[in-house]
Amino acid sequence: MLRESTFQESMLNKILTLKIAAVSLLLSATASSAEFEVTGNIGLEERYFFNQSQYPEQLDNSQTSVSVEPEFYWSWNDGNDSLTFKPFYRIDARDDDRSHGDIRELSYIHVDDDWEFRAGIHKVFWGVTEFQHLADVINQTDGIENLDGEDKLGQQMLNLSLVKDWGIVDLYLLPGFRERTFPGSKSRLRGQLLVDEDNVTYESSAKDKHLDLAVRWSHSLGAFDIGSYWFHGTNRDPTLIPTQVGDSAILRQHYNQMDQFGLDLQATLGDWLWKFESIYRNTNVDNFWATQAGFEYTFTGAFDSAADIGLLLEYSWDERGEGGDSNNEESNSPGASYQNDVFMGSRIALNDAQSSEVLMGFGTDLDHSASTFLIEATRRFGDNLKASLDLRLLQSSDTIDQLYNLRNDDYMQLSLEWFF
């Protein structure tokens, strides 16, 4: 009995050991080829407007909000297949319209030797300039999130990317369209008339189900980085049509179809970065060229320190002009915000352990009175906390400029983001 039990025990032990070995082998095999990761950030944002609101329904001086943006990432097949899910939500204590969410990303990527396939909701950035992102066209602007238009809504897409000796070719099928988000009645940083988010009209009978197409080629040739594309589909910029509803007026969004050719070019020559973006847009109401061009010069190790000081200068031109122009035959054309504008800026990076940076920018319209001034300062505290302090001043005395409506909306913003 004793022997038997010992034998049984030892068999059991062997089987157990085998099982454990098999399981651990399996685990290590999956661990080496598959991966799951959760990262993201939680943010607290406090805005303070220096002046009382211009319109009675708008909130007064302070505005607090909390945002969360986790990212879930799965990869398998040695990282050649991956899935990313990145939802976003902001809760604003006083502005219901700014309490909003979006799926920033829900995309699958398959990578092969000389091609890559991406499917799902994704974000794509095209361009080289800093003060206006003229060439960037794929994603819709999240206009309630921020005034600068740098926040984008996720876009549904199928994207095949082909890597060739002569550059990268990206083919896009964009099924479905996202309407721009706009400030609501309580929101600051808006015009007098509210934008109607319900009665949206489209040129295409497919409305927001229109299948948009884009093809882009990009390449690096020595000191030059060049990109060029053609886009066919729904214009991301709506025409806003004032409409009388009862005894109040409202702006109705209308989305045209457009064909757009775009070009972006950067020459990296020593301390100089020369930047150029241009688009040609054709819709059934107008067709025009627009350009954003300039340079960035960096003094590295300025004043015998580790800091870099960059100086930026950019100019915007738009064939549509400033709008409201009697010489303009297409009286329908609202004109462009940046039609003859100049921007100056400076970027100071201390290159310290906290990655302290200050960005200053000033933009002004050369045709009429309209100027903006911006300071963004960021610094990391500890390993996971990042603080940003922004100041934005908006000024205009000319009623044709959009900034005229925002002249009381100068604000300071402190945001703390905790990264995990």
Interaction site with another protein (CB under 8 A)? 39, 41, 73, 75, 79, 82, 109, 111, 113-114, 116, 123-125, 127-128, 150, 161, 163, 168, 218, 220, 225, 266, 268, 270-273, 298, 300-301, 306, 308, 351-355, 380, 382-384, 386, 417, 419-420
C-alpha angle with apex 24: 20 to 26, nearest 5 degrees?
120
Q: How far is the CB of 114 from another protein (least distance, A)?
A: 6
Q: How far is the CB of 49 from another protein (least distance, A)?
A: 25
Map tokens 């064939």 to a residue.
319
Q: What are the two backbone dihedrals, phi and then psi, of residue 232, each rounded to the nearest 5 degrees?
A: -130, 120
Q: How far is the CB of 273 from another protein (least distance, A)?
A: 6
Pairing state between β 248-255 and 257-269: unpaired
Q: How far is the CB of 161 from another protein (least distance, A)?
A: 6
Q: Considering only CA atoms, which of 257, 266, 309, 313 is closest in space to residue 286?
A: 257
Distance CA 301, CA 278 (A): 33
Q: Which is nearer to another protein, 195 or 273 (CB)?
A: 273
Q: How far is the CB of 415 from another protein (least distance, A)?
A: 12
Q: Considering only CA atoms, which of 161, 150, 156, 160 is closest in space to residue 125?
A: 150
Q: Which is nearer to another protein, 121 or 406 (CB)?
A: 121
Q: How far is the CB of 258 from another protein (least distance, A)?
A: 22
Q: How far is the CB of 403 from another protein (least distance, A)?
A: 24
Residue 279 has a CB neighbour count (10 Å cut-off) of 21
Q: Which is nearer to another protein, 218 or 282 (CB)?
A: 218
For 63-101, b/e burial (b = at least 16 CB within 10 A) is: bebebebebbeebeeeeebbbbbbbbebebebbebbbbe
Strand arrangement, sheet containing 239-245: 195-202, 248-255, 239-245
Distance CA 6, CA 13 (A): 10
Residue 181 has a CB neighbour count (10 Å cut-off) of 20
Q: Which is nearer to another protein, 41 or 369 (CB)?
A: 41
Q: Which is nearer to another protein, 184 or 310 (CB)?
A: 310
Q: Which is nearer to another protein, 155 or 187 (CB)?
A: 155
